[in-house]
Structure 1
Amino acid sequence: MKDILSHYTLGELLAFEPVTTGTVQTNYFLQTTQGRFVFRYYQNRSLESVLFEIELIRYLTRCNYPCPAVLQDRNGEHAGIYNEKPYTIFEFATGQHLEHPNEAQKRQLVQQVAELNTITRDYKPLHTPYRLNYNVETCWELAQEATQRINTAQAREKLAWLEHTLAGLHLPPSLPRGVCHCDFHFSNLLFTDGKFSALIDFDDANYTFLLLDLAALINPFQASFDWNTWPHFQEEENVFDFNETRAILQEYARHRPLSMDEKWHLFDVYKLSILFDCIWYFERWEGEDFYERRKIAYLDRLGRDQFYAQIFAD
């Protein structure tokens, strides 16, 4: 840490401690003679992927979006290499993580997501090709990799189902794209005195459909229907509850109105988000069935028209 800090003008190291929230990259709080900072060590990202994140954060801070700035060293570089892995140092953002935000705080989050999507619309960082960008092609490639890794009959059956489901998505070129955050876990949100103060951890951010961030906020399924309860439901049951989804969409539209194309194809983007969940949990199944397959089946039974009517019709 002392050697790394010697390349910066952030003062001398007084103390450092690991950040306990977050599970992918390694983060430390740094205390120096000039203040407090956050050191991030990327365990599984290339330098080019990190540079995408740096480009994005610098763009957002120039637009006055509430997120911690990434700091540069004495040579003007925003990323360094230690033991062949990249690292960055960020401003320390004050605030608290709220595991159970109230309704007003949830609305603040929706507003910030809408404003983020407005700022990043059509924004494509130079290092976008080095990021895991959420689209149909990436989903299919990741599914093939997972199937080869697991190498079981169940995995191959899951791959065939996923291929068929991806082929049924309708995602026209007219849908706006930009950079989405894609991870609104409470550990990535900071509140100060009950008010939203910062969005952190852009490790999963990528260039994709702007609707994907909105899809991450909504859950049209009943709270009782989840990854560990779905086998208890019959296939013909009604598992939907659109009340919260309608409220989120109304709040989002106050800050970024959706086009007709976006409203109509939210059905497809939401299904794409489910398919990416299927990738992250590719080894999860029960017999020939699994959670994401059941969710897609319920959505297909409901249909695009009824999905649209439930969340957008007056």
Structure 2
Amino acid sequence: MGTLLQENVILDDLKNACKNQLGMDILSAEPIRRGWLNLKWRIHTKDGVFLLKQYNKERLKKYSIPALQRIFAEQNNLHRQGFPCPKIIANQDNLFLESPLGERFMVMEYCSGKTVEPGKLSNAELYELGYYTGKLHALWEELPLAPQTTFQPPKTSLRIAYWEKVIEAAKNMGKSHLLPILEKQLRLTKSFPLENLNLDAVGWSHRDLWVDNLLFDQGKLTAILDFDRMNYDFPQLDVARAIISGALNEDKLNVQGAFAFLNGYRFYHSIGSDFLPNALKLLWYMESEWWLDTELDARKGPPKRFVQEMVWLSDHLHELDTILGNYEGG
């Protein structure tokens, strides 16, 4: 079945499900070509405009359905508290619905605003993002603690063995042009100060805080989207991901924009001058393994951007304290 035909079959199925489960007649639907594998439509009904999101069955295998249901309930709790995120429409208490053909989906408010290209957030937008990231982490401090973080930083000896394996694979594949990047990861890992990165600072985190999941209107943050990956982790990773996504334009980091983010964030949290350098170092330690491998030269779309971010971080890892360490925290 062709991709477009398959999408139309899924949409027809979801239209029936929306009518039967939510009493919602969909008058028209416009596809939103953003995101990976999941299908999204802007739908028009007699009650207004909403967003319809279908969850790809293969991608959904990586998630726990009960965990997602808890996350969606927490998203609605945030919305009730006035936090800028879309309200999910419920069928009684059920937020994560299932169609007659077995498609998992949700319907939520359609939020105003637009996404901004990676690295192109203004200083005002970065301040807004910092403020609401700080508020999000503060609100989540009320949630029960979890036994461990989602990301368990491996010992550097294990990561060294990983880079040695990837380097050997690149050589065997004849990809000698990748060796300078991969060998740099190995050198950095051998001297990486993992124990200095404040790994005791744990808490509930969004875990996907990058520009595609943010909406702005005239410098104001109108919505944070896609809470699917929310989990107990290192909140500093949310800060690092948001800043590297919003403030790294090609090969230049908007340092004043990064500081604007921190100025917003510290409305809710006390942070020191080493907070952001350490957060970015931890982000590199986690994500470099995800994006820098023998296929780093073939990645497209968002993964290509993530490769660029990890390469920049590895190129400047030893300079982060100098570049960002003059921030006067409070």
TM-score, reference length from structure 1: 0.71
Percent of residue pairs bearing the same amino acid type: 17
Contact 1:7–1:73 (CA under 8 A) maintained in structure 2: no
Q: 1:171 to 1:92 in 2, by over 3 A?
A: same
Contact 2:134–2:265 (CA under 8 A) maintained in structure 1: yes
Measure the CA separation in 2 of the matches of 1:103 and 1:97.
15
Deviation at 1:69, TM superposition (A): 1.0
Aligned to 2:239: 214
Q: After TM superposition, list the pairs within 5 Å mapping 1:70-89 onto structure 2.
A: 70-74=88-92, 76-82=93-99, 83-89=101-107
1:298 lines up with 2:316 in the alignment: yes
Aligned to 2:140: 120
Deviation at 1:57, TM superposition (A): 0.5
Aligned to 2:301: none
Q: Deviations over 1:53-104 (max 9, x none)?
A: 3133023123221111111114x21112345452211122233334455443
Measure the CA separation in 2 of the matches of 1:313 and 1:189.
25
The runs of 5 or more residues in structure 1 that have no matched partner are 227-239
Which residue identity is paired with 1:3? N
1:27 lines up with 2:47 in the alignment: no
Contact 2:126–2:257 (CA under 8 A) maintained in structure 1: no
Aligned to 1:225: 251
Q: After TM superposition, list the pairs within 5 Å mapping 1:154-169 onto structure 2.
A: 164=190, 168-169=194-195
Tell me whether 104-113 or 143-152 shows the greater mean CA deviation.
Answer: 143-152
Contact 1:120–1:178 (CA under 8 A) maintained in structure 2: yes
Measure the CA separation in 1 of the matches of 2:54 and 2:257.
37
Measure the CA separation in 2 of the matches of 1:31 and 1:140.
54
Q: 1:114 to 1:143 in 2, by over 3 A?
A: farther
Could you say what secondary structure the match of 2:326 adopts?
helix
The runs of 5 or more residues in structure 2 that have no matched partner are 1-13, 172-177, 299-306
Measure the CA separation in 2 of the matches of 1:38 and 1:204.
19
1:93 lines up with 2:111 in the alignment: yes
Measure the CA separation in 1 of the matches of 2:160 and 2:229.
18
Aligned to 1:180: 206
Which residue identity is paired with 1:271? K
Deviation at 1:110, TM superposition (A): 2.3
Q: Deviations over 1:12-56 (max 9, x none)?
A: 222222112333421112222322221111111232453243133
Q: 1:309 to 1:68 in 2, by over 3 A?
A: closer
Deviation at 1:309, TM superposition (A): 3.6
Alpha carbon RMSD of aligned pairs, Å? 4.4
Match among 272, 279, 289 for residue 279 of structure 1? 289
Measure the CA separation in 2 of the matches of 1:222 and 1:273.
14
Measure the CA separation in 2 of the matches of 1:39 and 1:248.
31
Could you say what secondary structure the match of 1:109 adopts?
helix
Which residue identity is paired with 1:78? L
Which residue identity is paired with 1:201? D
Measure the CA separation in 1 of the matches of 2:204 and 2:85.
17
Q: Deviations over 1:188-213 (max 9, x none)?
A: 33334653322222234332212122
Match among 12, 17, 20 for residue 30 of structure 2? 17
- Whose RCO is larger (CA < 8 A, sep 6+)? 2
Aligned to 1:203: 228
Q: After TM superposition, list the pairs within 5 Å mapping 1:104-119 onto structure 2.
A: 104-119=124-139
Measure the CA separation in 2 of the matches of 1:40 and 1:143.
40
Could you say what secondary structure the match of 2:327 adopts?
helix
Deviation at 1:135, TM superposition (A): 4.2
Aligned to 2:174: none
Q: Deviations over 1:146-199 (max 9, x none)?
A: 9999992569977966875777353445414222253231x4333346533222
Measure the CA separation in 2 of the matches of 1:138 and 1:81.
41
Contact 2:128–2:261 (CA under 8 A) maintained in structure 1: no
Q: 1:168 to 1:110 in 2, by over 3 A?
A: closer
